[in-house]
Structure 1
Amino acid sequence: MAQTVWRGEDRYRGGDQQAGIDTWHAFSFSGFYDPDNVGFGLLVACNEERLAPGAGFAEHPHRDVEIVTWVVEGELEHRDSAGHTSVVRRGDVQRLGAGSGVRHTERNAGDGPLRFIQMWLVPGSFGTEPEYEVVRGIADSTPFALPRTEAVLHVRRLADGERTAVPQAPFVYVHVARGRALLDGVALREGDAVRLTGGEAGELRAEGGAELLLWEMHAEPVYG
């Protein structure tokens, strides 16, 4: 198993601090471009967003991308051109399948800070009907199989010293949303990520508690 550790402080920083938006990108995104870091497996974005109360993103379009959002703290309001309106909270998984095209807005709907992880994946087919769903209070033992892709999201919330196996897949992406953990002896802190290839098993152990997002991916993007 080959692994690459990407430290949280090495991500690209964007957003608009004056507007209350602070963003940290794991891959090339918007005005940041690194030809050696445009994606991993089906994952082409993993953005940590921090929004001040009332701050948010004005209406903007998406097409042919699966957008999965995990709220770490706070309340995220979503509105889109298909008529969906939701408030997504900690423990919820939101999925927006942009398909042939959709527009949406996102903002901090609460009185306190909002922090969420937003991940974009390339679907297996393009030009499909847009789709939207929210899974409320997803359980640690319930994998979320992302429709229209060969990708599965695993959420792990571990107490101090608790262990969990890393999924076996050609591509596995581990993101530490909260706390600290060890991956086969490698120390990981909040904001760190690991990219794994080779399909061999591994093990994560929490140090003082941890909230982890693990993507199990069985393909790479196919365009055209």
Structure 2
Amino acid sequence: MLQRKTIDSWQVEYEQLPYPNVQKGMVLSPEKMQQHDPFLLMAEDWFKRGAFSDHPHRGFQTITYVVDGRLEHFDNAGGHSILDAGDMQYMNAGGAARHAEEAVDDDLIHTLQLWLNLPKDQKFTDTYYENVRVDEAPTFDIDNGQVRVYSGDVAGTKGPTKSVYPFTMVEVYLKEGAEYELPLDAADTAFCYVLAGEASVGTDDVALSRAGVAVFERGEEGESTVLLKAKTRTRILVYAGTPIGEPVAAGGPFVMNTEDEIQQAFRDYHAGKFGPTSQPQGR
């Protein structure tokens, strides 16, 4: 069994932004989307209401984790929900998503949003949203810790997310001095992000603190583990997914395989093919 080492690690850097945005950091840079296949980018945002009003998407999926505050979602199919800290929303943009993600009232919302690519034959699938509340994601206990499974199958515990293209997302809680070998498919791209505390990860014991990121080596088909060690009480998010291996063209809110397909997406949006503007519900 492959015991994974890290192949890259870094500390997220942040920039201050004008209101209603507040602060932003790139956890995964879009400049490295080919190396992180099937993951396109991951952004960490603090924002107020009005930052992410009505906008379109096509050709990929998003996984939004609420770190703190309340996140309001509404879309032009009539969907509406409010997510709290620890909740996750999965979206398959598919062929034509149009929605908004807003802070509730005067909240300052803090989120992590991961963009997950879709294969060419799934880029025009139906738009779909799913909320996974923190108390709906199953957990299992480990020595001096706990694992919460939002998506995927980890050690026989299955997360509830019904994604079009599969991925694994877990949150690992470790007490000071605890360690855990997280099982993952060896061929999957995998990375972690430290939500709180200090840890070392991988067989090479790379040290990470709050907002630290590590990408792990891949292997052939079969099983593998990622070693997580807590220096202090620690919370770590781990994501994994199978590389797609197709050309990627990205433009604004669209991710396709060619530049021509990106331009067609813009034409379709301006022609009204993404439907009417999404409106807040009951506010």
Higher strand share: 1
Superposed displacement of residue 62, structure 1: 0.6
Judge which range, 66-75 or 172-181, deviates more. 172-181
Judge which range, 162-171 or 128-137, deviates more. 162-171
Report SS of the residue matched to 1:17. coil
CA deviation digits over 1:72-123, x for unaligned, max 9?
Answer: 1111111112211111111211111101111111111154432111001012
Give the one of 50, 53, 58 matched to 1:63: 58
Residue pair 1:77, 1:109 contacting (<8 A) in 2 also? yes
CA deviation digits over 1:160-184, x for unaligned, max 9?
Answer: 2232223333211111122221114
2:6 is the counterpart of 1:6: no
**Match runs of 1:211-222 below 5 Å:** 211-222=235-246
Equivalences, count: 215
In structure 2, distance between residues paired with 1:181 and 1:155: 14
2:133 is the counterpart of 1:136: yes
2:43 is the counterpart of 1:47: yes
**Match runs of 1:61-210 below 5 Å:** 61-109=56-104, 111-124=106-119, 125-137=122-134, 138-139=137-138, 140-145=147-152, 147-168=163-184, 169-170=186-187, 171-184=189-202, 185-199=205-219, 200-210=224-234
Report SS of the residue matched to 1:142. strand
The CA RMSD over aligned residues, in Å, is 2.3
Judge which range, 173-182 or 68-77, deviates more. 173-182
Give the TM-score of the pair, scaled to structure 1: 0.85
In structure 2, distance between residues paired with 1:220 and 1:14: 31
Residue pair 1:93, 1:135 contacting (<8 A) in 2 also? yes
Q: Rg: which structure is higher?
A: 2
Residue pair 1:21, 1:56 contacting (<8 A) in 2 also? no
> Which residue identity lines up with residue 124 of structure 2 in the other structure?
G
Superposed displacement of residue 192, structure 1: 1.3
Residue pair 1:167, 1:216 contacting (<8 A) in 2 also? no
Report SS of the residue matched to 1:57. coil
CA deviation digits over 1:114-145, x for unaligned, max 9?
Answer: 21110010124210000001011124343513
> Which residue identity lines up with residue 25 of structure 1 in the other structure?
M
Superposed displacement of residue 221, structure 1: 4.3
Seen in structure 2, the aligned counterparts of structure 1 residues 104 and 46 have a Cα distance that, compared at 3 Å, is: same
In structure 1, distance between residues paired with 2:115 and 2:25: 14
In structure 1, distance between residues paired with 2:168 and 2:63: 11
Residue pair 1:65, 1:123 contacting (<8 A) in 2 also? yes
Superposed displacement of residue 2, structure 1: 4.9
Judge which range, 95-104 or 178-187, deviates more. 178-187
Residue pair 2:89, 2:130 contacting (<8 A) in 1 also? yes
In structure 2, distance between residues paired with 1:183 and 1:110: 39
Judge which range, 79-88 or 150-159, deviates more. 150-159
Superposed displacement of residue 195, structure 1: 0.9
